[in-house]
Amino acid sequence: MPRYVQLGEVPAKRHTQFRQPDGSLYFEEVFGTKGFSGIASILYHANLPTQIAEYKFIGSLKPEIAAEEPLRHHHVKAQNIPASGDPISGRIPLLMNSDVSIGICRPECPMEYFYKNADGDDLLFIHEGSGHLETMFGTLAFSAGDYLVIPRGVIYRQIFAPGEARVLVIESSSAVEIPRRFRNEYGQLLEHAPYYERDIRVPHQLITHRLKGRFEVRLKARWNLTAYIYDYHPLDVAGWDGYLYPWAFNINYFEPITGLIHQPPPTHQTFEGHNYVVCSFVPRMLDYHPDAVPIPYNHSNLESDEMLYYVNGSFASRRGIEEGSITLHPSGLPHGPQPGAVEASIGKKRTEELAVMVDTFHPLLLTRAALDLDDGKYPHSWSM
């Protein structure tokens, strides 16, 4: 991932004896991707990580997909989703395909268990709230504006401080990665990349839990949820090193690329996965050609669907959009500024917009929950 990291104690040589204070061996785990040819970390557990006390099936997590309907633009009023559940059970999937699932979570209860996503990576955008992740790799603090990248298989618990919390949840069937064009052949971020390694935060405190008792880890796999019960605390790692771990990047550290004329969405790209990209629209100076039209031009996404999550309401090309709204502009239909927006933008020097965009290269399907929140009048919002 971003760079090599070591936290806690590890032996001088991998795959060699490493003993606990009582003289017994730590249990080594290679935690890696792509069948030992991808990025990996090596963790040293106080307990055997394959050992469980019991397991039980909880149920299916697969959301209900809305019935087919005429192709149209959508405005999902996701800000109206009520607070419910905890940071996992409170997730409401709204848009999905085989590559990615996008939803909202407004937790009202703390997590009383740990969680592991075996279906893919979690990319969490913290719209509101602060707190920390407790993970097998250590503690990672977060606050509003943070992207949290949590690789598949990481055991974690998300702890929020008291107060309002709202999270954009992107569950990816592939790894969430830094775009290849931002990295050199050694993996280092290039000078023209819109962020730098020191903008990336990694787990900063590793606590080796040696408690015995009854601890639950809920595992998501194949859209089913299974509870695994351990008789030891699952965050029992004494040390680890490698390239695979959870990390954070704050959207306010994204360095926007501006130009003489309007720059296209790829300049805002922040992450990529298989068949999709994630972009960050942040406050920035606008185009500086004397005749510039500093607003997106009409465009047809001929091979992709465009989902936009509005972190604030300052989006010049849209009207009637509120903080926390989601719009979906599917492939096959042109979209662009609504009437009056182009003229209103001329002469402006700066935008304060803040939004997260996901462009997918396979169509996104609405869930029943999304359709229930959909503004059916939105397709007519371009009428003169």
- The mean pLDDT of 239-266, rounded to a whole number, is 95
Which fold would CATH assign to domain 251-379?
Jelly Rolls (2.60.120)
At 314 the pLDDT is 73
At 315 the pLDDT is 72
**CA Rg, the chain, in Å?**
22
At 320 the pLDDT is 76
Does residue 1 carry a pLDDT above 70? no
pLDDT band per the 50, 70, 90 thresholds, residue 267: very high
Residues of the chain with pLDDT > 90, as a percent, come to 91
- The mean pLDDT of 326-340, rounded to a whole number, is 93
Find the Cα–Cα–Cα–Cα dihedral 348, 349, 350, 356, rounded to 10°: 70
2-6, 49-53, 326-330: which range is least confident on average? Answer: 2-6
At 321 the pLDDT is 86
Phi, psi of 180 (to 5 degrees): -60, -35
Q: What is the 3-state secondary structure (H, E, C) of the chain?
A: CCCCEEEECCCCCCCCCCECCCCCECEEEEEECCCCCCCEEEEEECCCCCCCCEEEEEEECCCCECCCCCCCCEEECHHHCCCCCCCCCCEEEEEECCCEEEEEECCCCCCCCEEEECCCEEEEEEEECCEEEEECCEEEEECCCEEEEECCCCCEEEEECCCCCEEEEEEECCCCECCHHHECCCCCECCCCCCCHHHEECCCECCCCCCEEEEEEEEEECCEEEEEEEEECCCCEEEEEECCCCEEEEHHHCCCCCCCCCCCHHHHEEEEECCEEEEEECCEECCCCCCCCCCCCCEECCCCEEEEEECCCCCCCCCCCCCCCEEEECCCCEECCCCCHHHHHCCCCEECCCEEEEEECCCCEEEHHHHHCECCCHHHCCCC
Average pLDDT taken over every residue of the chain: 95
289-320 pLDDT per residue, tens:
999 998 889 999 889 999 999 999 777 667 77
At 316 the pLDDT is 64
Note if the pTM is more than 0.85. Answer: yes
- The mean pLDDT of 261-290, rounded to a whole number, is 95
- The mean pLDDT of 126-138, rounded to a whole number, is 98
Does residue 88 carry a pLDDT above 90? yes
Residue 19 to residue 17: CA distance in whole angstroms? 6
At 317 the pLDDT is 65
Does residue 2 carry a pLDDT above 80? no
- The mean pLDDT of 13-30, rounded to a whole number, is 98
Residue 209 to residue 214: CA distance in whole angstroms? 13
